[in-house]
Structure 1
Amino acid sequence: MKALIEAMVAPLVDFPEQIVVHQREEQHKVIYQLQVHESDIGKVIGKDGRNARAFRAVLRAASADHKKRIYLDIV
Structure 2
Amino acid sequence: MQDLLVFIAQGLVEQPDAVTVTVDDPKEDGTVVYHLHVAADDMGRVIGKQGRIAKAIRTVMRAVGNHREQKAVVEID
TM superposition score category, shorter chain reference: over 0.9
Query: What TM-score comes out, normalization by structure 2 length?
Result: 0.90
Deviations 1:20-63 (A, max 9, x none): 10000211210000000010011000000000010011011111
- Matched residue count: 75
Aligned counterpart for 2:64 among listed residues 40, 62, 65? 62
RMSD across aligned positions (CA): 1.1
* 1:66 Cα deviation from its structure 2 partner: 3.6
In structure 1, runs of 5+ residues without a counterpart are none
Counterpart residue number, 1:6:
6
Q: 1:43, 1:52 → 2: CA distance? A: 9
- Stretches of structure 2 lacking an aligned partner (at least 5 in a row): none
Q: CA deviation at 1:11?
A: 1.4
Normalised by the size of structure 1, how large is the TM-score?
Answer: 0.92
